[in-house]
Structure 1
Amino acid sequence: MNDFSHAFFGYFIAFIALGGIAWCLWLLFAQRRWLGIRPSGAPVDDTGHVWDEDLTELNNPVPRWWTWMYLLLCLFALGYLVLMPGLGMFQGVLGYTTADEVRRHQAQLAEQVKPVYARYAGMTAPEIAADPAARQIGERLFLNTCAQCHGSDARGARSFPNLTDGDWMYGGAPETIEQTITQGRHGIMPPWKGSIEPAAASDAAHYVRSLSNLAADPLKVFRGQRTYETYCVACHGVDGKGNQALGAPNLTDGTWLYGSSEATIVQTILEGRDNRMPAHDAVLTPEQIKILTAWVWGLSNPTPAANANAPH
């Protein structure tokens, strides 16, 4: 309850919670005339509504137990708000949070499955990737955790890398993949709208397309090379092969994260790109990350055992 972007929302929630209880108590007090017990022999009030000629709606006081029930519920609500989180940023006397409960459940689950992962503790990524049981575990971890972005077949989509083609922005070594899964990545292509004119961006796009042997206008390629060498070479290199330390893509291999059309490349140059791979160290255990790393590595480095079990 304390993860508000502004303190106002905490006070707002607290006001609503306490205001609701106060309103119930006021309602009971304001209607106390109708909450009492009607004296014996007193005339019965009615609302004046009659149905089916003889069915009259009366206005009798509610039972006393009903009044006490509302009072006790109001007291219960106040006690709950003191003990548990519910008053905005106040966490409650007991300090309960659902986040702590989730962490406890995760710890219990990790302890339960620990024997499953123990057999892989001393194995390398290629050895794990060649193990049929480990591949099944890795595939399930991938489908539960990664498929939302990279697809169930791991071939990615627009802005989400294909994990099966052997083309890696940060490197495809097992330790690099493990670092990516554990800590995440934040890749930024800066926008050059204020420095490069659209016409020059078009020229640069043709030059970049020529690096991958795509159709390009020779005149634009000639002019675009100068633009590339001025603004792009620092990250992507003189030869356009990128820099894995920076996560700068290789522009010569025909693999495109957003597409290879001139319009798409111009948009990338002028507006930039901002890609995030979330860290999973709070979602997966180190043992699970190790298995998942080996499975992802095996997608572009198939072992003989994996090939034997692959569908034909």
Structure 2
Amino acid sequence: MSDFINNFWSNYVIAATVLSILGCAILLWMTARKRVVGDKDNTTGHVWDEDLREANNPLPLWWVGLFIITIVFAVGYLAFFPGLGSVQGKLGWSSAGEYKAEVEKANAELAPVYARFASAPVEQVAADPAARAIGERLFMNNCAQCHGSDARGSKGFPNLTDNDWLHGGTPDKIIETITMGRVGVMPPMAAAVGSADDVKNVANYVLSLSGSPHDSVRAGLGKAKFAVCAACHGADGGGNQALGAPRLNDNIWLHGYGEAAIIAMVNNGKQNVMPAQNERLTEAQIRVLASYVWGLSHNATTASAKP
């Protein structure tokens, strides 16, 4: 219940819960004390479908007993466990706390497994079959959702098996990226480039940098306008890893290939987020995972074009 942003919803839940329990108790009490006077045949006099009569029998004692036990149990449960809005209960238990304790216990049990890789260089860990197996499982559980089970990524998600890195592919940089995450921002640049025709010319010039099919006349006109892009991507389109600006002179396209895709990028910009993993993984796990990722690009050094 810690997600409440003010006391209103907490108080609302408390009131609804307490009133529901009181309502059940009052209903049971009223039912138990009320006696309907029946006829000699022990019916209430109500008849349906000509011959279906309502009997005036009391509630079974076992049913009444279970009802009372349920109410008492509910009161006891709410006293010791969370359930009344933001009230934590006397035991202080929470599902988040139990999850944290289980994770800490599991990490403590696995610590000896990771200890053997703690002081070894990433390059050495990447070559260890046991470490690769562990790294693969960590990757499947934490990274494959975005980068794919084969780590080749997809549109908007980088391929980790080539040597094209936005922020650098050294072991330390990979560890830094996994630990702290990344936020990549390409601001809308249409106003700085000029008219819609200027944007189209720049798009063709960008295509020409990688030798992709393009309109050479428009590319020539767009070269001068590319100056506003060169501040991040470099005069030759070689990118800037310090800024996370991708290379434009290779045949790797993270957010789509072709004139239309580049025009959309210039007009609209783009923001990508790589979430930090330091709250999900221990330092030792991140090191093994980084070793696995580093090994992927060094076992397959041929860069492949992204869709």
Alignment of 1:87-166 (within 5 A): 87-166=84-163
What corresponds to 1:307 in structure 2? none
State the Cα distance separating 1:209 from its structure 2 match: 1.2
| CA distance in 2 between partners of 1:124 and 1:45 (Å) | 86
What corresponds to 1:203 in structure 2? 201
What corresponds to 1:218 in structure 2? 216
What corresponds to 1:10 in structure 2? 10
Q: Aligned letter for 1:287?
A: A
Q: Aligned letter for 2:242?
A: A
State the Cα distance separating 1:61 from its structure 2 match: 2.0
Q: Aligned letter for 1:239?
A: D
Contact 1:45 1:60 in 2 (8 A): no
State the Cα distance separating 1:64 from its structure 2 match: 4.2
Contact 1:177 1:293 in 2 (8 A): yes
Q: Give the SS at the match of 2:299.
A: coil
| CA distance in 2 between partners of 1:20 and 1:128 (Å) | 59
Gaps of 5+ in 2: 301-307
What corresponds to 2:237 in structure 1? 240
| 1:39-72, Cα deviation, whole Å (9 max, x unpaired) | 9x99443642479x7x754232213453343334
What's the Cα RMSD here? 2.7
Alignment of 1:267-282 (within 5 A): 267-282=264-279
What corresponds to 1:27 in structure 2? 27
Q: Aligned letter for 1:171?
A: G
State the Cα distance separating 1:260 from its structure 2 match: 1.5
State the Cα distance separating 1:105 from its structure 2 match: 0.9
C-alpha change, 1:260 and 1:92, in structure 2 (3 Å) is same
| CA distance in 1 between partners of 2:188 and 2:211 (Å) | 25
| CA distance in 1 between partners of 2:174 and 2:60 (Å) | 69
Mean Cα displacement is larger for which, 137-146 or 22-31? 22-31
- Identity of matched residues, %: 44
Q: Tell me, yes or no, if structure 1 residue 192 matches structure 2 residue 189.
A: yes
Contact 1:2 1:91 in 2 (8 A): no
Contact 1:13 1:87 in 2 (8 A): yes
**Aligned to 1:300, which of 282, 288, 297?**
297
What corresponds to 1:227 in structure 2? 225
C-alpha change, 1:282 and 1:69, in structure 2 (3 Å) is same
| CA distance in 2 between partners of 1:234 and 1:241 (Å) | 11
**Aligned to 2:81, which of 75, 78, 84?**
84
Q: Give the SS at the match of 1:22.
A: helix
TM-score by length of 1: 0.85
Q: How many residues align?
A: 298
State the Cα distance separating 1:222 from its structure 2 match: 2.8
| CA distance in 2 between partners of 1:209 and 1:85 (Å) | 60
Q: Aligned letter for 1:173?
A: T
TM-score by length of 2: 0.86
| CA distance in 2 between partners of 1:19 and 1:183 (Å) | 47
C-alpha change, 1:28 and 1:170, in structure 2 (3 Å) is same
C-alpha change, 1:60 and 1:4, in structure 2 (3 Å) is same
